[in-house]
Copies of this chain bind each other. A is one copy, B any other.
Amino acid sequence: MVTIKDIAKVAGVSHTTVSRALNDSPLIKPETKKKIAAIAESLHYVPNVNAKSLVNQKSYIIGLYFSHLSIGTSDSFLVEVIKGISDTLPSEYTLAVHELLQSDTFDEEPNRLDGAIVMSQSDRDDGFIAALSKKNIPIVVLNRQLQDATLMNVTSNDAQGVYQMMTYVLEQGFRKIAMIEGIASFGSARERRKGFMKAIQEKQLVCPKEYFVAGDYSLESGQLGAQQLLALPEPPEVIFCANDDMAIGAINACHQAGRKIPEEIGIIGFDDSSFSPYTYPPLTTIRKPVYEMSQLAATLLLQAFANQVVEQQHFFDTSLIIRQSL
């Protein structure tokens, strides 16, 4: 392993000078810098991140924690988040992906992160987030609105998006509207239901209880939920699914039952995932700018490292994507 001392020996200077030169310190003559850079290059010198980290108290590692790598989070969502963050982070940073631990033993987690982004789905993550906060590193919580206004928080206005969509649906003249809901403990599920209810109530409509079926954001639960709705004596004209995965399951159920979409039944999703243009018929849905939100999360972290004062709360608007499933 080539160290700065090796370079120093070749250059005939002290290792201190090498360190300064490599870090572009103003104390070093430009020519000395050039000479040292050339030697470092020729020796294929690679800095030892661990040594740097030890002395600088900085690891150059950003943690990304996911509520559930396995359930309730669709693959495309996770990938969008990873892309958004890694596209934004400068290359000296490493992105460490972890499944979020619900256990209380989090304190034992090593102290090696410069900052963390928590993709949180439910308030069951609050314990984890609180434990993380104690580490005194910048944290941004993505995807779920926090009570605690002292943490950086990037969320989207799910309720408003659903409200807009349902208003649009009502304007089209539909009245029998059902909803397949997300995981009850997830904030996103509550938000989406809120937007749904607001539009319904504004029109003074009453949806029968059977029109609200439980789901868990999985393809399967969408299929099951739709089967249940279609079997009703008075089935709905429109099914709003709290995410695209469930909408795909629901579309499948309609096809199996021989109901034509959108003629006999309309299906609406939420997320605008990569599959949604390729369902049959293409899915009408609500776009949530996950990539952009993740980019902002990374940017906020970077700004916090630079001690910049930043706005803590950030909202993204969702938008309607009208395709052919309604």
A residues contacting B by CB (< 8 A) are 1, 44, 46-51, 53-54, 59, 61, 69-70, 75-76, 78-79, 82-83, 86, 92, 94-99, 107-112, 219-220, 223, 248-249, 251-252, 255-256, 274-275, 277-282
CB < 8 Å: which of B49, B51, B219 contacts A278?
B219
Q: Are B48 and A69 in contact (CB under 8 A)?
A: no
Report yes or no: B219 in contact with A248, Cβ–Cβ below 8 A. no
- Integer count of this chain's copies in the complex: 2
**Whole-angstrom distance between the alpha carbons of A192 and B283 in the complex?**
31
Q: Say yes or no: A86 contacts B99, CB within 8 Å.
A: yes
5 contacts between A and B (CB under 8 A): A48-B111, A248-B278, A252-B282, A275-B275, A280-B280
Chain B residues with Cβ below 8 Å from A51 are: 54
Selected contact of A255 from candidates B76, B108, B280, CB within 8 Å: B280
Q: In the complex, A95 Cα to B98 Cα: how many Å?
A: 7
Given the complex, which residues of B lie within 8 Å of A78, measured CB to CB? Answer: 75, 79, 82
Question: In the complex, what residues of B have CB within 8 A of residue A279's CB?
Answer: 252
Which 10 interchain pairs have the tightest Cβ spacing?
A: A255-B280, A50-B53, A75-B75, A75-B79, A49-B112, A50-B54, A75-B76, A219-B278, A94-B96, A49-B110
Asked if A69 and B82 sit within 8 Å, CB to CB, the answer is yes
Complex contact A112–B94 (CB within 8 A): yes
Which residues of chain B have C-beta atoms less than 8 A from A75's C-beta?
75-76, 78-79, 274
**Cβ–Cβ < 8 Å partners of A109 in chain B:** 46
CA distance A314 to B179 in the complex (A): 47
Expressed in whole angstroms, the Cα–Cα distance for A95 and B248 within the complex equals: 32
A94 touches which of B61, B249, B252 (Cβ 8 Å): B61
CA distance A24 to B112 in the complex (A): 22
Chain B: minimal CB distance from A110 (Å): 5
Are B49's CB and A275's CB within 8 A?
no
User: Which residues of chain B are within 8 angstroms of A282 by Cβ–Cβ distance?
Assistant: 252
Chain B nearest CB from A247 CB (Å) reads: 10
Partner of A83, one of B44, B59, B70: B70
Q: How far is the CA of A82 from the CA of B107 in the complex (A)?
A: 24
On chain B, the residues within 8 Å of A50 by CB distance are 50, 53-54, 59, 112
Chain B residues with Cβ below 8 Å from A275 are: 219, 248, 275
If A54-B50, A54-B51 touch, whether A223 touches B69 (CB-CB below 8 Å) is no
Inter-chain contacts of A281 with B (CB < 8 A) = 255
Do B46 and A110 touch across chains, with their CB atoms under 8 A apart? yes
Q: A53-B50, A107-B44, A280-B255 are in contact. Are A97 and B82 (CB under 8 A)?
A: yes
CB neighbours of A256 from chain B (8 A): 280
Given A46-B111, A53-B50, A251-B280, the answer on whether A83 and B96 have CB atoms closer than 8 Å is: no
Most-contacted residue by chain B among A47, A69, A110 (CB, 10 A) = A110
CB of B69 within 8 A of CB of A86, answer yes
A223 to B274, CA, bound (A): 14
| Contact A96 to B99, CB < 8 A, known contacts A86-B69, A219-B278 | no
